Chains A and B, each alone.
Chain A
Amino acid sequence: MLRYAAGRLVSALPVLLIVSLLSFGIVWIVPGDVAVEMAGPTATAEELARLRERLGLTKPWHEQLIGWYGALLQGDLGESILLRQGVGAAIVERLPVTLSLTFTALLIAFVCGTALGVLAAVRAGKAADRAAMGTALIGFSLPDFWLGLVFVYLFAVVLGWLPTGGYVPFTQDPLGWAQAMILPAGTLALSQMGLFARMTRAAMLEVLRQDYVRTARAKGMPGWIVVGKHALRNALIPVVTVAGIACGVLLGGAVVIESVFSLPGVGRLIVGAIQRRDYPVIQGGLLLTATIFVLVNLAVDLLYAALDPRIRHGRR
């Protein structure tokens, strides 16, 4: 297990290295002068010079790159031009919002998705199967940011049940947090719910054909125990791996959903930075989300290997 873990850890390093290079490189694809782009057309030559100095643009590119890695190793992501705050601090401040949104959505997607998938597999070919898979398909075909707007209109404007947006920290008021979270997390969950449902159905159909399931049935075990205990446990293994990838998709989706529901998270920080050309924040935000994704997937792989000995011993 330790050898597998070490190997997996080492293979994540080059990916992280390329991720940081790409995050650094985003500034280089801006056509023309980044400083002019950031400061706007009204900036004086003096302001431009000062901005270039602050961004380190006066140095040759290799020095900039070394500077970027030097600062990174000290945990320094640079300075936001507009917020007049360290990028790291700005992100850390907003991270709880994004993480609670992402993980609540992941939970909703996983629970509802697997339930739909099990239902569809058990009733394969019947009306319930078609209804569940239809729901799944519609789930990942709807544009989530639009659905969020529709939900705001329905639940906040027409029915007046929930707030139109905003965020309440969980530690301050758990009920308020739940009220603020349910619509955005539910909206965000929908697309991944569909994918979980499909995965679970496929995995369940596979497992339900196995001999040990037939044996369990033959010895007279109640159907729901066979499905829930014998089959689902084994079917969930591939589904859990998908959770790592779903996590990345949800992190990306959170960017838009935060804007729709006015949640003060990292996504809104990045979108604001993009609209106002605050490049240090864009670089830091990209680097951080990608790093979270790599680490989550590393954790999922290790968990997977811990659960299933075939992975850590066999060839992948």
Chain B
Amino acid sequence: MAGVEALPAAAPAPRVKAPGALARLLAHPSFRWGLLLFGAVAVCGLLADWLAPYDPLRNNFRTRFQPPSETFWFGTDRFGRDILSRTLFGIQVSLRIGLGVALVTALVGGAIGAVAGFWRRADGPIMRVMDALMAFPAVLLAIALAAALGPSELNVIVALSIAYVPRTARVMRAGVLVVREFPFVEGARAIGASPTRVLLRHVLPNAMAPLVVQQTYVFALAVLAEAVLSFLGVGPPPPTPTLGGVIADGRDFIQEAPWISITPGVVIALVVLGLNLMGDGLRDALDPRLRTAIR
């Protein structure tokens, strides 16, 4: 057993006590900046209960359409609700949904991709179904699914996960297809390890890196798509404050009160930019050869 385990270590160039993965990551400027951006917005969202100056749901007809001022830093909407407070709570919803979709697609898509890549007979049928799912524009499919399932946060996660599962499955499959040909896998087979054990113990751990990178991008895509769904009114139902929903609130008043839509859009952009930067950093740190392979 020990001999088999030693093989993968012997394959790459000799390591000179490489710095830990985390240190390497933090040394990467993209990742650092991404983490800073994403982290700053995420912390604001998580602390919304303390940071929000007003109740995000309370209507106040005396303060309707207030432009940004000292009392309302980012103005108010047509019900006199504070944009800053609504945006802060909207961040929570976006992050919950983005993280949920990233985790669900990692598990489901990862499993589908691993099976397709490892058991060649299952590959054809599984990937045809994935191709068919991929043929629907992801956002359109998610809108239709979310509408059919009915408006709720959980249904948004389900709809977006179905829309983005094929990407994850493809990346996982590609990784497994490469790793399964390595000599150490053959070694494991040769000493009589069961296929399930070979897959779980030897192939998967070595095919994980692209998945981790991909899921960072899926997180970003899900945040963007959730905003679209909420903007079109098939996201979490009102009065839940969502970033896309606040943008939709300001849409009809873009002439008179442009501040309503501007703030949440900037926040979405910061979250997504942060996640994309982190993804780029992870990609470079985990495997430089992936530079062009994903995305």
Chain A residues in the interface with B (C-beta under 8 A): 14-16, 18-19, 22, 26-27, 29-31, 137-138, 140-143, 145-147, 149-150, 152-153, 157, 195, 198-199, 202-203, 206, 248-249, 251-253, 255-256, 259-260, 267, 270-271, 274-275, 277, 282, 285-286, 289-291, 293-294
Contacts and interface: CB of A to CB of B under 8 A. Distances in A.
| 8 closest cross-chain pairs (CB), A and B | A252-B137, A146-B265, A18-B132, A141-B273, A202-B292, A290-B135, A252-B139, A274-B147
A26 B144 contact: yes
18 contacts: A14-B128, A15-B131, A16-B132, A19-B136, A22-B133, A30-B149, A138-B273, A141-B276, A143-B227, A146-B264, A248-B134, A251-B137, A252-B141, A256-B139, A270-B144, A271-B143, A275-B233, A294-B135
B100 to A, nearest CB: 19
B213 to A, nearest CB: 14
A15 B133 CA distance: 9
Contacts of A198: 295
A18 B144 contact: no
Contact of A270 (B140, B250, B277, B292): B140
The bracket for how many chain B residues form the interface is 35 or more
Contact of A157 (B128, B244, B255): B255
Contacts of B140: 251-252, 255, 267, 270, 285-286, 289
A271 B233 CA distance: 10
B138 A30 contact: no
B235 to A, nearest CB: 12
Interface in B117-154: 128-129, 131-141, 143-145, 147-150
Q: Is the interface of A mostly helix, strand, loop or mixed?
A: helix
Interface string B234-261: 1000000000100100110011001001
B250 to A, nearest CB: 8
B254 A153 contact: yes
Contacts of B261: 146, 149-150
A152 B254 contact: yes
B248 to A, nearest CB: 9
A26 to B, nearest CB: 6
Interface string B208-232: 0000000000001000100110011
Contacts of B231: 145, 256
Given A22-B132, A153-B258, A274-B234, A145 B148 contact: no
Contacts of A141: 220, 269, 272-273, 276
A252 B269 contact: no
A290 B136 contact: yes
B108 interface: no
A140 B128 CA distance: 28
Nearest to A206: B292
B42 interface: no
Contacts of B264: 146
A293 B137 contact: yes
A171 B110 CA distance: 49
Contacts of B277: 137
Contacts of A256: 139, 228, 231-232
Contact of A31 (B128, B149, B250, B295): B149
Contacts of A251: 137, 140
A275 B273 CA distance: 30
A286 B220 CA distance: 24
Nearest to A201: B292
B138 A195 contact: no
Given A251-B137, A256-B228, 5 more contacts: A22-B132, A145-B227, A145-B247, A149-B254, A270-B143
B163 to A, nearest CB: 9
Interface string B153-184: 00000000000000000000000000000000
Contacts of A253: 137, 139
A27 B148 contact: yes
B101 interface: no
